[in-house]
Structure 1
Amino acid sequence: MLVWLSEYLVKYITVFNVISYLSVRAIFALLTALIISLLMGQRVIDWLQKLQLGQVIRNDGPQSHLSKKGTPTMGGTLILSSITISVLLWADLRNPYVWTVLFVLIGYGIVGFVDDYLKVVRKNTDGLIARWKYFWQSVIALIVAFTLYAYGKDTAVTQLVVPFFKNVMPQLGIMYILLTYFVVVGAGNAVNLTDGLDGLAIMPTVFVAGGFALVSWATSNMNFADYLHIPYIKYSGEVMIVCTAIVGAGLGFLWFNTYPAMVFMGDVGSLALGGSLGIIAVLLRQEFLLLIMGGIFVVETLSVILQVGSYKLRGKRIFRMAPLHHHYELKGWPEPRVIIRFWIISLMLVLIGLVTLKLR
């Protein structure tokens, strides 16, 4: 929105030309989302408390979590609002990739909102029936997948970038749709599974979004793309604005979500953020990079799959409780120790992922 305004005003006041710089708008998008989150955070918490939208704690979870019962949830509405407002202000809204990410962000946010609503308002512990939850996630992912495939068929948009191999970028063809579907749906649910401790999911999300901001900037520049042997993608630059907005909104939310949390993001936040990271990875052709940088989300998801599979096949559990963060809680680790160590690992994985861009 401000891009259009600056293009008009620069004719009269040249200083407005600074808004045309992607890096400047990326920084302002981060600061805008951060400030909105900080200014509105307490108001949102008070509003959620007034509506009595408190967290429902399952009896089969760690006993230490029972004290969290009643803590305001659905704070993800603050994150989504901050991101959306910031992006609409600072991104070039003529860019289709911006609307693609917003479509997934808001679409998954709505699915998560319905799930949270059923849990905290209708007192349905299981929330939205699993098959309907996955159905609507699938619908959103497939709409995006088919649209992107129709637009970018047999171009850099549908190539697969393989880490460590600079000359290996095969065309996926119709398999692009399947890959996009699994990345978006998988990422959404992976972040959702990770969101089990105060601040555990939001900081890795911030790290990964920050990493993708750098990748987006490089992918939109022909010289850097050629240097790193990654595909140059015309519209990828504006994705950087979305990434930095996620970073700002995430840090602002962490102010209130850090241990002991004053508010939880709920499924409205975790599903939306996960789905957004998934579609960002797809747009930048860096699905493998998401696998590396989002390693915490991957391990948390695998721990659930292994736990369920082992119990059904062998009648035995591998972990004391899944997802993995609960396993360490039951081993006696204090919650802040689990959180901080997972953050440190997540930061390391993001840095490793960025290094792989050069190791080709």
Structure 2
Amino acid sequence: MLVWLANFLESYVSGFGVFQYLTLRAILGVLTALGLSMVLGPWVIRKLNELQIGQAIRDDGPQSHLSKSGTPTMGGTLILFSIVTATLLWADLSNRYVLAVLFVTITFGLIGWVDDYRKVVEKNSKGLPAKWKYFWQSACGFIVAVALFVTAQTPAETTLYIPFFKNVAWQMGVLYVFVTYLMIVGFSNAVNLTDGLDGLAIMPTVMVGSALGVIAYLVGNANFSEYLHIAFVPGSGELVVYCAALAGAGLGFLWFNTYPAQVFMGDVGALALGAALGVIAVIVRHEIVFFIMSGIFVMETVSVILQVGSYKLTGRRIFRMAPLHHHFELKGWPEPRVIVRFWIITVILVLFGLATLKIR
């Protein structure tokens, strides 16, 4: 929005041309989102408390969680508002990739909002029925997948690249739609499963999102992509602004969500952020690297799949409780220890993922 204004004013004052620099707009994006989330955070928490929008805690999990009952939830609305506002202000809204990510963020946020609302306000323990939640997730994910496929301008945009190798790639063709759909819906639910402890999901989201921002900047630059032997996707660099906004909003939210949390993210935040990360990874053509960096989200999801599968097939559980973070809690790890160790693992995985850009 402000980019268009700057373009108009540049014809009168050349100094406004500075807003064409992605790096400047990314910095402004992170500061805007961080400022909004920090300033609005106390007001949002107060309003959620007044409306009695508090989290219900399962009594079959770690007993230490029972004290969290009634903590305000649906705080993800603060994250999404900050991200969307900063992106609208500082990103180029004519860029199809920015529009795609905003669409995913808003639609998956709405799905999560309905689920949270039914659970917390209407006191419906099931929330949005699973079949309808999956239906709307699938519909939104499929729409974006098809849109990205039909608007692809170069073969690189639908090619799967293998890290560590310069010339190993697979042109997916129409299978690109299926892969994109799985990335969006799969990681939407993966982040949601991870969001079970104070700050556990938001910090890995910030770290992975920031790394994707770096990759987007490199992939969107012809010189850097040629030097690193990675795909060149024209226009994808604009996603740096969104990723910066995500990092700023996430850090601002963490101020209130860190242990002991004053507010929880809820499905409204987790579903939207996971879906956004998934679609960005697809756009910048680094799905496999994204899997590496998102190892915590992947492990949490796999632990649930293994637990359910094992119980149905053998009647026995692999873990004391799934997702994985509850398993370690029931083993006696204090909640802050689980959180910080999962953060440390994410730092290692993100650095390893970024290292693959050079090791070819």
TM bucket (normalised to shorter chain) is over 0.9
Q: 1:281: which partner in 2? A: 281
Q: CA deviation at 1:230?
A: 1.2
The answer for unaligned runs of 5 or more in structure 2 is none
Question: Superposition pairs for residues 146-225 of structure 1, below 5 Å?
Answer: 146-152=146-152, 155-225=155-225
Q: TM-score normalised to the size of structure 2?
A: 0.99
Question: Using the alignment, how far apart are the partners of 1:36 and 1:353 within structure 2?
Answer: 30
Q: 2:23: which partner in 1? A: 23
Question: Superposition pairs for residues 3-18 of structure 1, below 5 Å?
Answer: 3-18=3-18
Q: 2:303: which partner in 1? A: 303
Question: Using the alignment, how far apart are the partners of 2:145 and 2:109 within structure 1?
Answer: 18
SS at match of 1:160: strand
The answer for unaligned runs of 5 or more in structure 1 is none
Q: Deviations over 1:36-91 (max 9, x none)?
A: 00000000001111111000112222211111110000000000000000000000
Question: Using the alignment, how far apart are the partners of 1:212 and 1:283 within structure 2?
Answer: 10
TM-aligned CA distance change 1:153 to 1:305, over 3 Å: farther
Question: Using the alignment, how far apart are the partners of 1:133 and 1:154 within structure 2?
Answer: 34
Question: Using the alignment, how far apart are the partners of 1:68 and 1:99 within structure 2?
Answer: 37
Q: CA deviation at 1:29?
A: 0.2
Q: Which amino acid aligns with 1:346?
A: T
Q: Deviations over 1:92-140 (max 9, x none)?
A: 1110111100000001000000100011011111211111111100000
Q: 1:356: which partner in 2? A: 356
Q: Which amino acid aligns with 2:220?
A: S
Question: Superposition pairs for residues 239-258 of structure 1, below 5 Å?
Answer: 239-258=239-258
Write out the 4+ residue segments of structure 1 that deviate beyond 4 Å after TM superposition: none
Question: Using the alignment, how far apart are the partners of 1:153 and 1:35 within structure 2?
Answer: 37
Q: 1:40: which partner in 2? A: 40
Alignment pair present for 1:92 and 2:98: no
Q: CA deviation at 1:153?
A: 6.9
Q: CA deviation at 1:154?
A: 6.3
Question: Using the alignment, how far apart are the partners of 2:239 and 2:7 within structure 1?
Answer: 20
Aligned residues of 1:153 and 1:173 also touching (Cα < 8 A): no
SS at match of 1:278: helix
Q: 2:332: which partner in 1? A: 332
Alignment pair present for 1:271 and 2:271: yes
Point out the more displaced range, 305-314 or 134-143. Answer: 305-314
Q: Deviations over 1:138-185 (max 9, x none)?
A: 000000111111111762111111111210122101110110011100
SS at match of 2:33: helix
Q: TM-score normalised to the size of structure 1?
A: 0.99
CA RMSD for the aligned pairs? 0.9
Q: CA deviation at 1:14?
A: 2.5
Question: Using the alignment, how far apart are the partners of 2:319 and 2:179 within structure 1?
Answer: 30
Q: 1:54: which partner in 2? A: 54
**Percent identity of the aligned residues?**
62
Tell me the number of residue pairs that the alignment of Structure 1 and Structure 2 aligns.
Answer: 360
Question: Using the alignment, how far apart are the partners of 1:154 and 1:89 within structure 2?
Answer: 29
Question: Using the alignment, how far apart are the partners of 2:147 and 2:319 within structure 1?
Answer: 41
